[in-house]
Amino acid sequence: MLFSIIGLTHITTVKADSKINDYIISNKIKPAAIQNQEGTFSEWTGYRNGVGHPEGVVVHETSEANVTAQQFTDRFNANWPKLETYVHAFVDDNKILNIHNTDYAVWGAGPTANARYVQVELCRVNSYDAFARSLSNDAYYIASKLIQYNLPDVPGQTVISHAQASNTWHETTHQDPVYYFSIWGYNMDQFNDLIKTYYNNLKTYGDVNGQNDHVIKVHNAHGDFVPLVGINTDNQVVPIENRAVANDSVWYTDQSKTVDGVTYRRVSTHEWIAETYKA
């Protein structure tokens, strides 16, 4: 088999309920790539369940305008011993900078949260579009980390705000990102909706925006499976009798051919699926 199934079969995209989320989704904003830029933090402490076993992600915001992810990274690397704080990543509208290996804990939200969570700081921006792009980058980072560590997306458990950490364990007083989100008419519930959309799409399609030209999800409304066919050198369609694919399965496809008015998508070297089965 040349192309493997890339996702679970029953997950669908969730339409996030806010104007900003709608703006992100309808414009198919593409998150930045996660850049690993290991910093100077020299405390290599495992989580309470061990190295490589975080239990989720804490969402922070920097509370300071006009400072980029790179500028904050440089500042933290120079001053963390004096500040006695460090996080795993900074995100703005242009960059996602992972600055400490997320297999190890950092100092960002009090001892209890530190022993449990990956921690990411969202930088403040000055325009609606920049805010949307920064949210897209932040949601992508969070969803990617949940998937990396095989964690479910559970708001309030595997994804919490710094405010929730403060209010639960009373080890810090910070309430971010509540106020900053409110400036844009946004809140943590809406952000969790965006994270869920990205999480589901990444697991199902390998892309935050869902299906693309190289991915096909298939379903046979009249049967329990989707038939496969071959296309021979004479451009004739030949049924494959001993193989089929599951309903609602997702496949990578690199070629298409049209035979007698029907378009077929290639899902392995010699196997094709009629586009009429596209879900």
pLDDT digits (tens, 9 = 90+) for 147-199: 999 999 999 999 999 999 999 999 999 999 999 999 999 999 999 999 999 99
For residue 236, the 8-state DSSP code is -
Same domain, 200 and 219: no
* Spatial distance between the Cα atoms of 267 and 240, rounded to a whole number of angstroms: 13
Which residues does 7 contact at the CB level (< 8 Å), separation at least 6?
203, 204, 205, 206, 250
Same domain, 75 and 174: yes
User: pLDDT tens, 248-273?
Assistant: 888 888 889 999 999 999 999 999 99
Which residues does 55 contact at the CB level (< 8 Å), separation at least 6?
47, 49, 116, 117, 151, 158
Same domain, 185 and 221: no
Q: If you average pLDDT over residues 231-239, what whole number do you get?
A: 94
Q: For a pLDDT cut of 70, what percent of the chain falls above it? A: 93
Same domain, 168 and 235: no
Sheet containing 271-274, strands listed edge to edge, beginning at the edge strand earlier in sequence: 237-246, 225-231, 271-274, 262-268, 256-259
The number of distinct structural domains making up the chain is 2
* Spatial distance between the Cα atoms of 185 and 175, rounded to a whole number of angstroms: 16
Same domain, 156 and 200: yes
Q: Is residue 8 part of a domain?
A: no
Which tokens is 273 given?
């699926």
Last residue of a domain, one of 183, 205, 227: 205
15: pLDDT confidence band, cut at 50, 70 and 90? Answer: very low
Same domain, 51 and 161: yes
212: pLDDT confidence band, cut at 50, 70 and 90? Answer: low
What's the pTM? 0.76
Domain span holding position 46: 19-205
For residue 275, the 8-state DSSP code is G
Q: How much helix, strand and coil, in percent to the nearest 5, is found in the chain?
A: 30, 25, 45
* Spatial distance between the Cα atoms of 14 and 171, rounded to a whole number of angstroms: 34
Q: Is residue 242 part of a domain?
A: yes
Q: For a pLDDT cut of 90, what percent of the chain falls above it? A: 83
Q: 210 pLDDT exceeds 70? A: yes
Residue 4 phi/psi, 5-degree rounding, is -100, 160
CB 125 within 8 A of CB 131: yes
Dihedral angle computed from the Cα positions of residues 269, 235, 230 and 239, in that order, rounded to the nearest 10 degrees: 180
Same domain, 46 and 171: yes
CB 228 within 8 A of CB 172: no
Q: Alpha carbon of 246 to those of 44, 114, 250: distances in Å?
A: 45, 42, 9
Same domain, 61 and 198: yes
Q: 13 pLDDT exceeds 50? A: no
Same domain, 184 and 221: no
Same domain, 156 and 226: no
Q: 5 pLDDT exceeds 50? A: no
Q: Is residue 223 part of a domain?
A: yes
CA 25 to chain centre: 13
Same domain, 127 and 228: no
Q: 52 pLDDT exceeds 80? A: yes
β strands within 7-139, DSSP E: 34-36, 56-61, 89-91, 96-98, 117-122
Q: Is residue 30 part of a domain?
A: yes
Same domain, 125 and 42: yes
CATH number at residue 154: 3.40.80.10
Q: Is residue 264 part of a domain?
A: yes
What is the three-class DSSP state of 79? helix
Which residues does 62 contact at the CB level (< 8 Å), separation at least 6?
72, 90, 121, 122, 123, 124
DSSP H helix total and E strand total for the chain: 7, 13
Last residue of a domain, one of 149, 170, 205: 205
Last residue of a domain, one of 160, 183, 205: 205
Q: Is residue 5 part of a domain?
A: no
The mean pLDDT value of the chain amounts to 92
Predicted local confidence at residue 213, as pLDDT: 66
